[in-house]
């Protein structure tokens, strides 16, 4: 079933462990070079920029092959053009097989063919089934799961989670009005089921290379659980799907429950994550809390945006200041000491990049010489439209 040999994938995991040991300063460069030289069999690309570059090149190659095929079959083509799209999908799968046979594993090229084939397959099924979303997402969830098990690529795990959720969603749409009313609760239940089943799966997992996919599935379940009860999502969907009209003294059904949910869930994520030392949950909690603030601001603008930003900034600064003061010197557990195993340099780069957004802008447009500092930043739960 797996395209690569298990031992190769395990060695790949050992190399990445060696890399993080080197970054943490436990072993030196020459030791890591030795590990890398002896254990690396698969050709994979750790650098995200290079991987994206090869992904683009792979997409060019894939589309140029497809384009060439279209060009030569242009004359003989009639209304059966959908076979051509199926052919594109097959080319994608064949390309993936060829590349993975040559030991490419997450190099960018194989990603391009793998994702491209799934995309072509989705389009082809869409043409055959006249745009039936349920069929597309059901078939795609099966193919993406199979591809994940075979090629062990995180992108396929993501696609699997998304398509499976879409399948449930479209199934509920088909079932009628009552199912639509129950939609938030069904999705919550579904999220709980995937969370706990993936947790069980992880406990029994012995193959280290599958753990990324399972960890992602768990994170996905957390996000889905939050979104399925978020007030804004529920309200917008109920007006979209069932035509519920919200007036001043008439809110959506169970409104209080959803208001509570919108704030209790992120906070409990944050608290739980600190107890469980779960970084993914922490991040999801932070983002969810931001989205909750945005949700409330979207309907009830209690303060004008500039005051909200100023006060929010001050409050956040004060909170962080005291939090740092409190945990600064902890030598174990939750602490402000940098973790030797952390991957901090990505954020450093992102901060420098963000700063260019805030920088000065040229003065050629004389009528508005006021774009100092207050660039078009829109984050932290505030609307981006000012």
Partner 1 sequence: MSMKKFEEAATKSLLEKEFITPEQYDQVQAYRNLNLFSLHTELKLFLYASVLLFTSGIGILIYQNIDSIGHIAILALLFLITFFCFYFCFKNAIGFKKQQTQFENPIFDYLILAAVLLSCIFVGYLQFQYTVFGTHYGLATVVPTVIAFFCAYYFDNKSILSIAITGLAAYIGLSVSPQSLLHNDFNENNTLSYSAISLGISLVIWAIYSSNNDLKKHFSLVFLTFALHIISIACINNLFDSYWGIFIILLAGSCYYFYRTSYLIKSVSLFVFTLIYAYIGLNIFLFKLLEFSNIDSELFISFFFLVPFYFIGSIIYFIRLIKQFNKKASHDTI
Residues 329-348 that bind partner 1 (CB under 8 A): 331-340, 342-348
Q: Which of residues 13-42 bind partner 1 (CB under 8 A)?
A: 13-14, 17-21, 24, 26-27, 29, 31-32, 34-36, 38
Interface with partner 1 (CB under 8 A), residue from 5, 6, 7, 48: 48
Task: Report residue 86 as tokens.
Answer: 């199926």
Q: CA-CA distances (angstroms) from residue 320 to 55, 188, 294, 302, 314? A: 39, 32, 20, 24, 10
Please report where in the chains the tokens 């200041």 appear, as a residue. Answer: 321
For the CB of residue 287, give the shortest distance to partner 1 in the complex, in Å.
Answer: 12
Q: Which of 288, 182, 164, 308 has the alpha carbon at shortest distance from 227?
A: 288
Place of tokens 């001043």: 248
When the beta carbons of 131 and 340 are compared against partner 1, the nearer one is: 340
Q: Which of 87, 242, 263, 375 binds partner 1 (CB under 8 A)?
A: 375
Question: Should residue 380 be labelled a site residue for partner 1 when binding is judged by CB under 8 A?
Answer: yes
Which segment (133-141, 153-161, 233-241, 324-332) binds partner 1 by CB under 8 A?
324-332
Our CB check for partner 1 shows the closer of 114 and 168 to be 114
Q: Which of 41, 134, 171, 274 binds partner 1 (CB under 8 A)?
A: 274
Residue placing its CB nearer to partner 1 in the complex, 185 or 317: 317
**How far is CA 82 from its chain centroid?**
31
Residues across the chain: 386
Q: Which of 249, 370, 384, 385 binds partner 1 (CB under 8 A)?
A: 370
H or E stretch including 172? helix 154-175
Contact assessment for residue 173 and residue 180, using Cβ atoms and an 8 Å cutoff: yes
Collect contacts of 189-194 with beta carbons under 8 A, ≥24 apart: 190/165, 190/224, 191/221, 191/222, 191/224, 191/225, 191/228, 192/221, 192/225, 194/161, 194/218, 194/220, 194/221, 194/224
CB of 110 to partner 1, least distance (A): 12
Site for partner 1 in 295-314 (CB under 8 A): 305-314
Buried b (16+ CB within 10 A) or exposed e, 20-52: ebbeeeeeeeeebeebeeebbbbebbeeeeebe
Q: Pattern of binders to partner 1 over 62-81, x per CB under 8 A?
A: --xx-xx--x----------
CA separation for the pair 179, 190 (Å, rounded): 14
Rounded least distance, CB 27 to partner 1, Å: 6
Q: Is 102 in the site for partner 1 (CB under 8 A)?
A: no
Residue from 4, 9, 42, 54 touching partner 1 (CB under 8 A): that is 54
Site for partner 1 in 104-123 (CB under 8 A): 109
Cα–Cα distance measured from residue 312 to residue 298, given in angstroms and rounded to the nearest whole number: 16
Could you tell me how many residues of this chain bind partner 1 (CB under 8 A)?
112
**Contact residue for partner 1 among 202, 259, 263, 298 (CB under 8 A):** 202
Interface with partner 1, residue 60, by CB under 8 A = yes
> Does the footprint of partner 1 cover residue 384 (CB under 8 A)?
no
189 in contact with partner 1 (CB under 8 A): no
Q: 31: which residues sit within 8 A by CB, 6+ positions away? A: 18, 22
The string over 248-265, giving b where at least 16 C-beta atoms fall within 10 Å of a residue's C-beta and e elsewhere, is eeeebeeeeebeebbbeb
Which of 363, 367, 384, 385: binder of partner 1 (CB under 8 A)?
363
Nearer to partner 1, 246 or 301 (CB): 301
Task: Tell me which residues in 125-184 interact with partner 1 (CB under 8 A).
Answer: none
- Contact flag: residue 5 with partner 1 (CB under 8 A): no
8 Å CB contact between 6 and 13: no
- Window of 113-121, 152-160, 276-284, 291-299 that interacts with partner 1 by CB under 8 A: 276-284
Return the range that interacts with partner 1 (CB under 8 A); candidates 58-66, 147-155, 178-186, 291-299: 58-66
Distances (CA, A) of 52 to 9, 46, 85, 176: 22, 11, 25, 43
Binding region for partner 1 (CB under 8 A) out of 127-135, 226-234, 242-250, 323-331: 323-331
């Amino acid at each position: 079933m797996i395209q690569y040999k298990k031992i190769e994938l395990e060695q790949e995991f050992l190399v990445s462990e060696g890399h993080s040991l080197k970054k943490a300063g436990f072993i030196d460069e020459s030791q890591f070079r030795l590990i890398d030289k002896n254990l690396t069999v698969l050709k994979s690309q750790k650098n995200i920029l290079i991987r994206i570059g090869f992904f683009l090149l792979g997409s060019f190659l894939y589309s140029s092959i497809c384009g060439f095929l279209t060009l030569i079959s242009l004359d003989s083509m009639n209304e059966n053009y959908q076979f051509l799209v199926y052919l594109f999908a097959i080319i994608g799968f064949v390309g993936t097989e060829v590349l993975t046979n040559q030991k490419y594993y997450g190099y960018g090229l194989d990603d391009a063919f793998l994702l491209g084939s799934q995309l072509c397959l989705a389009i082809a099924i869409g043409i055959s089934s006249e745009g039936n979303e349920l069929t597309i997402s059901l078939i795609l969830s099966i193919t993406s799961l199979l591809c994940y098990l075979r090629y062990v690529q995180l992108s396929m795990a993501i696609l699997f989670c998304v398509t499976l959720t879409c399948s449930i969603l479209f199934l509920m749409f088909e079932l009628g009005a009552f199912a639509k009313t129950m939609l938030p609760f069904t999705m919550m239940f579904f999220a709980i089921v995937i969370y706990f089943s993936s947790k069980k799966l992880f406990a029994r997992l012995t193959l280290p290379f599958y753990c990324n996919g399972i960890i992602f599935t768990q994170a996905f379940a957390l996000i889905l659980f939050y979104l399925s009860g978020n007030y804004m999502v529920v309200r917008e969907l109920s007006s979209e799907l069932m035509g519920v009209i919200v007036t001043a003294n008439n809110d959506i059904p169970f409104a209080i429950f959803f208001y509570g949910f919108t704030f209790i869930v992120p906070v409990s994520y944050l608290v739980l994550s600190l107890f469980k030392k779960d970084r993914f949950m922490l991040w999801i909690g932070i983002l969810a809390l931001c989205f909750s603030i945005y949700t409330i601001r979207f309907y009830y603008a209690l303060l004008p945006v500039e005051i909200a930003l100023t006060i929010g900034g001050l409050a956040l600064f004060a909170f962080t200041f005291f939090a740092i003061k409190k945990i600064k010197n902890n030598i174990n557990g939750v602490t402000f000491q940098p973790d030797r195993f952390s991957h901090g340099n990505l954020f450093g780069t992102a901060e420098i990049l963000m700063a260019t957004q805030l920088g000065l802008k040229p003065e050629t447009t004389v009528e508005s010489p006021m774009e100092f500092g207050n660039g078009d930043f829109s984050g932290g739960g505030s609307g981006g439209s000012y």
